[in-house]
Structure 1
Amino acid sequence: MNTVPFQALACPLDGEPLHLTGSAWRCAAGHSFDIAKQGYVNLLPVQQKRSTDPGDSKAMVAARQRFLGSGHYQPIAEAVSRTLLGHAEVPSRGTELFSCLDAGCGEGYYLRQLVSAASSGQALSLVGLDISKWAVLAAAKQDDKQAPFSSWLVGSNAHLPVQVAALDSVLCMFGFPVYSEFARVLKPNGVLLQVEAGPDHLRELREIIYPSLKEERASERAAPEGFAHLRSESFSYQITLEGKAPIADLLAMTPHLYRASVEGRARAEALDVLTLTVDVRMVQWQRV
């Protein structure tokens, strides 16, 4: 397996191609973005921020890293890798190098799993992007500085710092999809893989922290503009968390930490064992 950090970046200020010069990315207009010593680049200009420190906090990122590192979502990672690598093997793409953006990459878990699952004959060009600088920092720290397998970017899905039609695939894991941007950066026939929570996802936790559960939205919906529905897949399994620490990590890495009442969080914090349903839906959209 051969990995190449993604190169087709665009300036977040004017959309022009960025070129790597020394330890910085620069566009023709002179905008320059330094590569941090940890190996990532911040392509989120201040005018695209809604707060001074957007996205997941340092504590949330650390909780997610511990939780994912324990293997609880390994079946999801395997399904994602299997799906993406299946598209990487399609000969009609016209290139041997398969490019993929993880839009909302967190601390890079799913891209690392993708690299691990790839065969020796597959060539990947990968880029991980997240609006949280703490998430991207955690991802970059786990990369091999001598031979990085991915480009790590602080950026926004609403303004992807990627050139037009530069990607074979986009992965959006439990994230905030911006379909117009995904359509812009995907090649014709490129694939968007969207992974969403199913109706029973973490139901046992939600039943503890909320007084009642909201009715789930319909699973089927119209294809976003610029896309055609390729296929959908749902699967579920159960996990058991033993001890207060992993339960606290799970709660901390989800929006439920802030949506639940003080009483609901207290009920979760009192648990020593929690058996949960993991229920996900994977939807593949093809760029038309």
Structure 2
Amino acid sequence: MSLTSFQALACPLDGQPLHRLESNWRCPAGHSFDIARQGYVNLLPVQNKRSADPGDSKEMVAARQRFLNAGHYRRVAEAVSKAVLEGAASAPMRCLDAGCGEGYYLRELAQQAGDVPLALVGLDISKWAVQQGARQARAIGNDHLREAHWLVGSNANLPIQDQSIDRLLCLFGFPVVQEFSRVLAPGGVWIQAEAGGDHLRELREIIYPSLKPERSAPPQPPTGFAVRDEQRIRETITLDDQAAIADLLAMTPHLYRASARGRERAQALKTLSLTVDVRLQTWVKTAHA
């Protein structure tokens, strides 16, 4: 298997191509971005931050890492990997996870890819998430992950050159249609995962007084995209200890949206059976987009 790494990064300050030096990335105008010792690079300028420490906190990242590494969402990861690898060719497939968190889905993809050539990029607005993604990628020793790039950045201003991505993942994240369309090559594939109406219903019934009605129809592809595939992943999982239930609550926005009484009820649980209900939409960029 010939290894490759993604080279089409763009300066977040002026949009010019970035070029890799030994320990940093630099654009022709002289803007320079150091590669941290953990193996990631921060491409989120201060002026583009809405807070001093945007995105998931260190505690949320740690909780999600424990929960996902325990395999609770493995069926979702398998479906995502299959959607990415469908139609793979001999040329390296350039894949961006926009909102990668601590890198679980890219790690699973790298393990499933085998000899399929991949050039992987994980991007998240949370510095803590990207740090963990880079650290875990190094620890695994997978060839695809060894060549992956890990970026602190924003979906609203992707530090990626135009039409340089073949597969774009947005898994339970915040899609930005204009930016996703810009960086995807014609024929490129956008894979969007969203919670279905029954997702974690049993937990939500405990922490909320009432639930919102489910959206009756799946989201439609944005202008310039056509449907390639639609699927729904449903299964029941059981969390059989308080630590796993606490991690699930801590890794989602439910922790902050629930009432104090609702959090108390959830924290008192010793076991919980849950519905996993995920919509997975696969859209392809048309030539006229």
Q: TM-score, normalised by structure 1?
A: 0.95
- 1:26 partner amino acid: R
- Between stretches 215-224 and 136-145, larger displacement belongs to 215-224
DSSP-derived class of the 2:278 partner = strand
2:126 is the counterpart of 1:132? yes
DSSP-derived class of the 2:87 partner = helix
Residue-by-residue CA offset, 1:99-134 (whole Å, 9 max, x unaligned): 1000010111110100100122x1000000000000
Q: What residue in structure 1 maps to residue 65 of structure 2?
A: 65
Q: What residue in structure 2 maps to residue 32 of structure 1?
A: 32
Give the whole-Å Cα distance in 2 for the aligned partners of 1:187 and 1:10.
15
Q: What residue in structure 1 maps to residue 47 of structure 2?
A: 47
Gaps of 5+ in 1: 90-94
Q: What residue in structure 2 maps to residue 101 of structure 1?
A: 96
Query: 1:1-288, aligned counterparts within 5 Å?
Result: 1-89=1-89, 96-120=91-115, 122-144=116-138, 148-288=146-286
Residue-by-residue CA offset, 1:183-241 (whole Å, 9 max, x unaligned): 00000010000011111000000000000001122333432122222221112001000
> Could you tell me how far 1:287 is from its partner in structure 2?
0.9
Residues 67 and 246 of structure 1 are in contact (CA less than 8 Å); yes or no, is this contact kept in structure 2? yes
Residues 42 and 152 of structure 2 are in contact (CA less than 8 Å); yes or no, is this contact kept in structure 1? yes
DSSP-derived class of the 1:4 partner = coil
DSSP-derived class of the 2:199 partner = coil
Give the whole-Å Cα distance in 2 for the aligned partners of 1:271 and 1:232.
35
Residues 99 and 126 of structure 1 are in contact (CA less than 8 Å); yes or no, is this contact kept in structure 2? yes
Give the whole-Å Cα distance in 2 for the aligned partners of 1:191 and 1:136.
23
> Could you tell me how far 1:3 is from its partner in structure 2?
4.5
RMSD, aligned α-carbons: 1.4
Residues 210 and 260 of structure 1 are in contact (CA less than 8 Å); yes or no, is this contact kept in structure 2? yes
- 1:152 partner amino acid: W
> Could you tell me how far 1:174 is from its partner in structure 2?
0.4
Number of equivalenced pairs: 282
> Could you tell me how far 1:36 is from its partner in structure 2?
0.4
- 1:201 partner amino acid: H
Q: TM-score, normalised by structure 2?
A: 0.94
What is the identity percentage for the equivalent residue pairs of Structure 1 and Structure 2?
63
Gaps of 5+ in 2: none
DSSP-derived class of the 1:125 partner = strand
Give the whole-Å Cα distance in 1 for the aligned partners of 2:249 and 2:87.
34
> Could you tell me how far 1:87 is from its partner in structure 2?
3.0
- 2:111 partner amino acid: S
DSSP-derived class of the 1:183 partner = helix
- 2:55 partner amino acid: G
Give the whole-Å Cα distance in 2 for the aligned partners of 1:128 and 1:221.
24
Give the whole-Å Cα distance in 2 for the aligned partners of 1:277 and 1:2.
41
DSSP-derived class of the 1:50 partner = coil
DSSP-derived class of the 1:222 partner = coil
Q: What residue in structure 2 maps to residue 92 of structure 1?
A: none
